[in-house]
Chains A and B, each alone.
Chain A
Amino acid sequence: MATIKVLGYPLSTATRLVLCCLEEKQVDYELVVVDAAAGAHKQPQYLALNPFGLVPTIQDGDLTLFESRAIVKYLAKKYKGQGTELFGNSLSEEALVEQWCEVEGQSYNSPALTILSQILFVPKKGGTTDEALVEMNVEKLVKVLDIYEERLSKSKYLAGDFFSLADLQHLPTTHYLVTDCGKGDLISSRKHVKAWWEDISCRPAWKKVSEKGP
């Protein structure tokens, strides 16, 4: 069977999500680095695979797929029975996984990425961090984390007592917030969020993917 190709770059949060899922499912893959800094993802060659010019894109035989959250769902289903189960064990459990994946995509991701972008990426490109924008998004994230705190006081992981895609989806952005943006207190000040974060961020698959920092 041909190895899955992941077109992306090692520091991209969305690429890391896909790599971490591949590691969890013990699937062989090859990372084909797309030089985003040089604008390679906006060139015709890449746009032919992903017309939105975003990373990552995967190639699995005849199938070309983009959107990291769709890719990890595909991998979780295709490799069911191998590596870590990521969708729970029943239709109801799967529904709750989908629900918390949506919460990540709709409510957590945007404020988290905005904070990351302003603190980590903007200065690298020669710009200045917009502190007011950071503050506004920290406030948004705080509201979300308070709800997570309540949820995780009743449930070991987001969708239930089992690790799932929903938890996995939070790894890349949260890692940067805690490790590289000085926003660790958002996590460590919340008892159950802290315990959950310590648990999921210590998983071998994540450790392998996040070895090299920005």
Chain B
Amino acid sequence: MAAVKLYGPLASTATSRALACLLEKQVEYQLIPVDLKKREQKKPGFLAMQPFGQVPVLQDGALTLFESRAIVRYIAEKYAAQGTIGLLGKSLAERAVIEQWMEVESQTYNPPSSFLVFQLAFAPLWGIPQNQTEIAKNEKKFSNVLDVYEKRLSESKYLAGDEFSIADLSHLPNTEYIVKATGKAELITSRKYVNAWWENISSRDSWKKIREMSKADSKK
């Protein structure tokens, strides 16, 4: 079977979200970089695949798919029998709870954490002025969310239950940047159960591989 193609830069949280799933499921893939600085994602060739001009895009045979969380679900479903088993749960009810936490990530965890990552990690690199009022607002918002996670993870090893699932996986990219690149690591590390969960999921082989690849990338 031909390798799937994943278009996107490794540094993009959405791209690494999709890649983490490909690695967990041991799917043969080809990572094709997209140069965001050169606005490659806004050129006609890319827009033909992804009309919103965003990364990543997956090509699997005749199927072209975008939106990292849709890609994660598709890969987990299609390759259910290989790699890490149980990413989608073992029953309809387990799957439902996984989807619930996928949506929590998407609607509640992602907005404030993305904002902080952009403002604290990337804006300084790109010479964009920071908005301190909004940073403070989003930090408070994110803290409140993490308080709910702390309670949840004190009762459950992983977000949706006793097993690692796509819901935990979906949180890897933003949390990595929060801990490594924003100076706000204590948001995670000061919370006993959130920190234990983070240490656990980020030490999975799939995430270790992405860290190695990122390191190699930054040396080029």
Contact = CB atoms under 8 A, between A and B. Distances in A.
Interface of A: 51-52, 62-63, 65-67, 69-71, 73-74, 77-78, 91-92, 94-96, 98-99, 101-103, 105-107, 144, 147, 150-151
Most buried by A among B65, B99, B102: B99
Interface string B84-122: 000000001101110110111011100000000000000
Contacts of A91: 74, 77-78
B70 A95 contact: yes
Given A52-B104, A67-B104, A91-B74, A99 B51 contact: no
Interface of B: 51-52, 62-63, 65-67, 69-70, 73-74, 77-78, 92-93, 95-97, 99-100, 102-104, 106-108, 145, 148, 151-152
Most buried by A among B74, B93, B96, B148: B96
Contacts of A94: 74, 77
9 nearest A-B pairs in the assembled complex, by CB-CB distance: A102-B67, A67-B103, A70-B99, A98-B70, A74-B96, A95-B74, A99-B70, A70-B100, A70-B103
11 contacts: A51-B151, A65-B100, A74-B92, A74-B96, A91-B74, A95-B65, A95-B70, A99-B66, A99-B70, A102-B106, A105-B106
B92 A78 contact: yes
Contacts of A150: 51
A52 B67 contact: no
Contacts of A65: 96-97, 100
B204 to A, nearest CB: 23
Nearest to B67: A102
Given A77-B95, A92-B63, A147-B52, A101 B103 contact: no
A147 B51 CA distance: 7
Contacts of B51: 147, 150-151
Given A95-B65, A107-B52, A70 B96 contact: yes
Nearest to B103: A67
A70 B92 CA distance: 12
Contacts of B69: 98, 102
B89 to A, nearest CB: 11
A28 B3 CA distance: 45
A77 B51 CA distance: 29
A74 B98 CA distance: 10
Given A103-B52, A147-B52, A98 B100 contact: no
A78 B96 CA distance: 10
B61 to A, nearest CB: 9
Given A95-B70, A103-B67, A52 B148 contact: yes
A95 B63 contact: yes
A106 B68 CA distance: 11
Given A70-B96, A95-B63, A147-B51, 5 more contacts: A51-B151, A65-B97, A69-B107, A77-B92, A99-B66
B37 to A, nearest CB: 22
A144 B51 CA distance: 10
B142 to A, nearest CB: 13
A67 B107 contact: yes
Contacts of B100: 65-67, 70
A67 B99 contact: yes
Contacts of A95: 63, 65, 70, 73-74, 77
A210 to B, nearest CB: 23
A105 B170 CA distance: 15
A158 to B, nearest CB: 12
B60 to A, nearest CB: 9
Contacts of B78: 91
B106 A74 contact: no
Nearest to B69: A102
B3 to A, nearest CB: 18
